[in-house]
Structure 1
Amino acid sequence: MLILQRMYCLVSHKSLRSLFIPNSRNNKVLNFKEIISMRTDSMPLLYHSLTTILDVLEKPENKNTDGVKELLDIYEKVKDENSKYKAAGEVKTHPLIVLEGLDGSGKTTVGNRFAKKIGAKKWKTPPESISHIRHLFDDNNNLRTAYYSLGNYIAALEVEMLLKNCPVVMDRFWHSTAAYAIAQSIQDKGDMYVLPAKGDKIYCWPEDLFKPDIVLLLNVSEEVRLQRQSRRTNVTTQEELLNSCSEFRKQVIEAYQNMYNPGVILINGDLSFGAVLGQLQKETSSLLKK
């Protein structure tokens, strides 16, 4: 049972049965790198490296899916731009500040005001460069997480080129992709998966992804969140689930709080707008003085 619980959202029901049926010849305990490379319905539900994302998107059965070729082309273009930037000897001199939280927590509004206040550039994931094809992936259960995951790497390449001139405030990054993917896997196959325990390597930041200097999690009550989200016109399937399923919300929030290297710093988003800005300034003051 302990082994099964540690496989929670990274292998398929079929894979679990073949690996762990008593007396099976293939019952070794896998290490973390082996686990994250495995597939659920032929797709990993969470990606811890760029290579695993590209491997999936470039599979014959996926590469002709609407949006995939354009997504990969945009990644290659941004990667080339970033390579030229690094070849010129440019280096980061300002911090990357990430704001995380549930849909409707106020990240965008607070982030815009905070960025203006500290003279930072505002960015987001998925970045604008791929936002126009987001609708092609949001309801695609197989490739949704691959799209958001590659979006993190594209945004990282873009942001890295901005940090020479000013700080960047990012609306979501890898922590959101991971928290939602983990919670979704439990929602989809709750009979097989449980929320990984705090300290599990699944919560650790990918080694090959540009790391933020600080991650701030806006934590709001459900009443406040729903009030804010009611102003939106476009709601994804996953956002609808967030509104209708308290257990899903709980799992997303707990997954956020379990993240490490870097972890998240909780910000009380129920306070007044000015008070929330004050908390953000307090938590980032040492970074902005450098």
Structure 2
Amino acid sequence: MSRRAMSLLTQWSSRVFSVELDGAPFYFAIQERHRGEDMPQVFKEVQGHERCYSVLVCSSDRINQARFYAQLKDKLLRDLPKGCDLSPMSSFLPNIKDSLLKGYFLKEKSACSPLTEGLLRDVTQHDPVLVCSYLRSEDGDLWTQRLWKDADSQMMEMSNDYCVVSSEAPEYHPATLNIINSDVFYSFEEAYDVLKESADIIPEATSALELLPSRVEARSKPDFPVIVIEGLDATGKTTLTESLRDTLGAVLLRSPPKCLSPLRARFDREPPLIRRAFYALGNYITAEEIGQEGMKTPVIIDRFWHSTAAYAIATAVSGPVCNLPADSSEVYRWPTDLLQPSLVVLLTLDPEERKRRLRDRGQGETAEEQELDHNQLFRLKVEEAYRRISGPACITVDASPPADQVLQQVLLLIRGKCHL
């Protein structure tokens, strides 16, 4: 057993566990004795199942941990017997940053499947995981957790059964404990280190690193205004940014920058840690371009750091909008070493009108944009995350009027804020 796993076991009984059912987290805890507590809601939901399991990834190597977590899902979905359901799961220490372990919760209707047990035994032999069984009492009123022994180590006395009990929802959604420099990056160095660590297993990471500026420093603002236009697909960003370019005699840039386009499909297949680091570094390439162009002319940018952060936060935090970090959370702060724009405009549009425009365009969408179309909750979280980002904050503009009216409204904002 790894040193990382052993350290986790010393505070095992202090951890809270979360299982995602229908997109919302359900929480439970463990204790040595049952004191008449109510059965956790997640186990009420699985009463039709005879046995459950959890598999939590605990590698000390963050790159391997992120990739293995994604690969583990594929392996389980492929090899588990029929009738065994899979749900995302996590374990964490409340309010302790970087304490989150991610994994999966398995629900099985048969009393004990040799195929499931054999598959999980095989996983524990070769991979950085902690596996638990959850056993239901004969009367069905109590579930217990049993942490599997590692045959190759002296795993203390961790084969003890723990009673599963209810746990209140934590003050902060557990995903927020690990968002900083994992889902959202707040410095060039943090994102750079992830791609550098990935280079041995992802050759394209080296290609991406070669495109980066040799050194990134917090810059003073360019001589001319820098205006960012944000918004979901089909809110009119392209039309508006091109109109602003022509009207103001500005330079138009896009983020991610064009030089990353050949690599995007490759990094879109990677887990969030690596994928988000790649797109975070794209913002720094764009910032370098802004610094050069902004000394000569106004700069218009089609998306920037707000998009990178808003989509990442909304994806990481499951459940309703209220699960997002509070307005004052540090996850919404602007990176200290990234050039700050003069003005950020967020275009908003009625969901049905946005869908109509997408249909009319007939263009392909990213996976995240497809998620926006069939998941209203995800769209609401993205839009709310946009609104909560500070330094600078977004100014919301209704994009439903004709394009020329939207242009005039944004020009008024630019003249008022940027004195153009």
Alignment of 1:49-128 (within 5 A): 49-59=187-197, 61-76=198-213, 79=214, 92-128=222-258
Q: Which residue of 2 aligns with 1:171?
A: 302
**Contact 1:104-1:229 at 8 Å conserved across structures:** yes
Distance between the aligned counterparts of 2:344 and 2:221, measured in 1? 21
Give 1:132 deviation, angstroms: 2.1
Look up the equivalent residue of 2:271 and give its one-letter code.
N
1:47-77 Cα offsets, whole Å, 9 max, x none, are: 1111110111111x4444142111100004x
Q: Which residue of 2 aligns with 1:13?
A: 101
1:181-216 Cα offsets, whole Å, 9 max, x none, are: 0001124xx59x930011211111110101000100
Q: Which residue of 1 aligns with 2:116?
A: none
Distance between the aligned counterparts of 1:44 and 1:178, measured in 2? 11
Which has the higher Rg, Structure 1 or Structure 2?
2
Unaligned runs of 5+ in 2: 1-15, 17-91, 104-174
**Contact 1:215-1:262 at 8 Å conserved across structures:** yes
Q: Which residue of 1 aligns with 2:367?
A: 237
Look up the equivalent residue of 1:255 and give its one-letter code.
A
Look up the equivalent residue of 1:222 and give its one-letter code.
P
Q: Which residue of 2 aligns with 1:150?
A: 281
Secondary structure in structure 2 of the residue aligned to 1:261: coil
The root-mean-square deviation of aligned C-alpha atoms, in Å, is 3.1
Secondary structure in structure 2 of the residue aligned to 1:166: coil
1:110-158 Cα offsets, whole Å, 9 max, x none, are: 1111211111111010011212211112232232211110000110011
Unaligned runs of 5+ in 1: 16-34
Q: Which residue of 2 aligns with 1:185?
A: 316
Q: Which structure features the higher share of helix residues?
A: 1
Distance between the aligned counterparts of 1:269 and 1:69, measured in 2? 40
Q: Which residue of 2 aligns with 1:23?
A: none
- How many residues align? The count is 255
Distance 1:285-1:63 versus aligned 2 partners, 3 A rule: farther
Distance between the aligned counterparts of 2:317 and 2:393, measured in 1? 22
Q: What is the TM-score of this pair, normalised by structure 2?
A: 0.55
Distance between the aligned counterparts of 1:129 and 1:211, measured in 2? 22
Q: Which structure features the higher share of strand residues?
A: 2
1:211 and 2:340 matched? yes
Identity of aligned residues (%): 32
Q: Which residue of 1 aligns with 2:393?
A: 263
Distance 1:7-1:163 versus aligned 2 partners, 3 A rule: farther
Distance between the aligned counterparts of 2:312 and 2:196, measured in 1? 21
Distance between the aligned counterparts of 2:196 and 2:99, measured in 1? 20
Q: What is the TM-score of this pair, normalised by structure 1?
A: 0.79
Higher normalized contact order (CA 8 Å, seq sep 6+, divided by chain length): 1
Q: Which residue of 2 aligns with 1:225?
A: 354
Q: Give the stretch that moved more between structures: 104-113 or 230-239.
A: 230-239
Moved over 6 A (4+): 3-8
Secondary structure in structure 2 of the residue aligned to 1:122: strand
Distance 1:14-1:138 versus aligned 2 partners, 3 A rule: closer
Distance between the aligned counterparts of 1:177 and 1:7, measured in 2? 25
